[in-house]
Structure 1
Amino acid sequence: MINKGKYPIGGVNVCAMDYEAAVQHIVKAALVGLPCAVSALAVHGVMTGCLDPVHRRRLNGLDIVLPDGQPVRWGLNFLHGTKLEDRVYGPNLTLKVAEAAARHNLPIYLYGSRLETLELFSANLKKQFPGLVIAGMEPSRFRKLNIEEKAQTVNRIKASGAKLVFVGLGCPRQEVWAYEYRELLSMPLLAVGAAFDFHAGTLKQAPTWMQDRGLEWFYRLYQEPRRLWRRYLYLNPLYLFTLLTQRTGMSRRQVLVPNGDVPEESYG
């Protein structure tokens, strides 16, 4: 088990942690009912925090931010010598946490995406982990929630008996959601994004050889070029520039500790 603490990449604090340590931390929080907001970030997720100081404070207010993409793992190794041998890929983490939830009798709640995706995702999880209890599921409304709707969401999740929530709203909305609901729901909240579509079978994952070489972004770009071209062709070079400036000391932005309130967005 590896847990070497948090290290900054462009001001976003990322945990040098492996699957075993992450799952153990999440399960412990679920068993005793403690808040625990978790996200697994690829380059795009890290750069949303680097470029937006408000969102950076949100990310640094999460309990665990994991290196979802290989380039983020490489960044930790390059900047901080963490010697991590593997990333903590959100879709794989989802399955490992689901397996642990079934083993420890921890009901889960699925929040986000579309109803048809949730139904497929739920069926596949229960088929893979027969002992898993899915206490409830709720699709995204794809808009901001008002105060009353937010309170109703909290009440539904609590009333379901769930001990942890998988959140699939897409980056960065799911991180905003996890940040906002952390204190309202005393349980782990896992922002796992595309894991919903991958495990529902509605979106194909990149081949393993592309994932291992940090080329998953290229596969996603091939799948959705019109939606994603700006994200990858702009943010990927900027990420490399961020690593270089931080390594050479040209950037003074190292760690931003959460301080004070951050405006809420109330996505749902």
Structure 2
Amino acid sequence: MKFDKYRLFWPEYANVDYKLATQIIIEKAKNRASFGVSALAVHGLMTSLTDKNLKKVINNIDLIVPDGQPVRWALNSFYKLGMKDRVYGPTLTLKVLKAANENNLSVFLYGSNQNTSNLFRGFIQNNFPNVTIVGQHIDRFREATEEEDQQDIERINTSKANIVLVGRGCPRQEFWVANHKGSVHAVMMAVGAAFDFHAGTLAQAPEWMQQNGLEWLFRLVKEPKRLWKRYLVTNTHFVLKFFKNKVFLRRPY
């Protein structure tokens, strides 16, 4: 199943909607293809410009979807794509789980803390009973040693998971997905806050705020100490970068 990619500053975003993204993921998952997915919003995009290590690997991820409304707006502005909506990680997760339920696929949960992971597992089991949870790995909140990483890979592959949902926070989850292409035989989805939202441990912004690109404000109010730099500084840099490329360079990268 083919899809087009468009570079925005550096990451190459797929021109997909929820339906096409889900179809691609399920097609790959059925075959247990080693395939990377990231729902990349402004924070991840801008980090890929400032973190040289992330910049090297981000485009190894096969399917990068425009998680944030500002990303969608920028892609439409530069490329006239006419994207009608973003492809929001938590919503994409639900749509993929629904399709996985219809196809009796299996899922491995990788990341987050014990409480959130257990609650997310319960959410999946209650809402998608035909999805088999074949494993959970709680985040170490540090990078694995080489030996630990090999154990993780073997555990996932032995489980025969079709999909690995990765909730390690951006950009740690993007590094993990990009660096495990070819070694983990499953679709790896970096979906970040989907774990917390669907576990019920973190509130989602109202729909009107999401549609108008104001989810960042809702989350900033909820977690000011953790997120002030991400949203106030990073979002400002994004806006300045957009205007520089749009007005002066007249190109998206």
Q: TM-score, normalised by structure 2?
A: 0.96
C-alpha distance in structure 1 between counterparts of 2:6 and 2:195, whole Å? 28
Q: In the alignment, what sits opposite 1:49? A: 48
Which segments of structure 1 move beyond 4 Å, counting only runs of 4 or more? Answer: none
Task: Give unmatched runs, 5+ long, in structure 2.
Answer: none
CA RMSD of superposed structures (Å): 1.6
Whether 1:134 aligns to 2:137 is: no
- Taking the TM superposition and a 5 Å limit, the aligned residue runs for 1:48-197 are 48-197=47-196
Alignment partners' CA distance in 1, 2:75 and 2:252: 15
In structure 2, the partner of 1:229 is 228
Counterparts of 1:251 and 1:234 in 2: how far apart (Å)?
24
| Secondary structure in 2 matching 1:242 | helix
1:76-126: CA deviation from partner (whole Å, max 9, x where unpaired): 111111110001010011111111111111100000001111111011111
C-alpha distance in 1, partners of 2:147/2:249? Answer: 46
Query: What SS does structure 2 have at the residue aligned with 1:60?
Result: helix
Contact 1:39–1:64 under 8 Å retained in 2: yes
Structure 1 alignment gaps of length 5 or more: 255-268
Structure 2 residue aligned with 1:37: 36
Once the 2 structures are TM-superposed, how far is the Cα of residue 249 of structure 1 from its aligned partner? 4.7
Check the 8 A contact 2:108/2:163 in 1, yes or no.
Answer: yes
Shift in Å at residue 41 of structure 1?
1.0
Partner of 1:212: 211
Q: Distance in 1 between matches of 2:248 and 2:80?
A: 16
Query: Partners of 2:46 and 2:191 in 1: how far apart?
Result: 17
2 CA distance for matches of 1:119 and 1:210? 29
Q: TM-score, normalised by structure 1?
A: 0.91
Q: Is the 8 A contact 2:39 2:190 kept in 1?
A: yes
- In the alignment, residue 27 of structure 1 is paired with which amino acid? I
Corresponding residue for 1:241?
240
Percent identity (aligned): 45
Per-residue CA shift, 1:115-154, capped at 9, x if unaligned?
1111110111111112111111111000111110000001
Q: Is 1:200 matched with 2:199? A: yes
1:98 touches 1:132 (CA, 8 Å); kept in 2? yes
After superposition, where does 1:242-257 map in structure 2 within 5 Å? Answer: 242-250=241-249, 254=253
Q: Secondary structure at the match of 2:249?
A: coil
The number of aligned residues is 253
Contact 2:39-2:66 at 8 Å conserved across structures:
yes
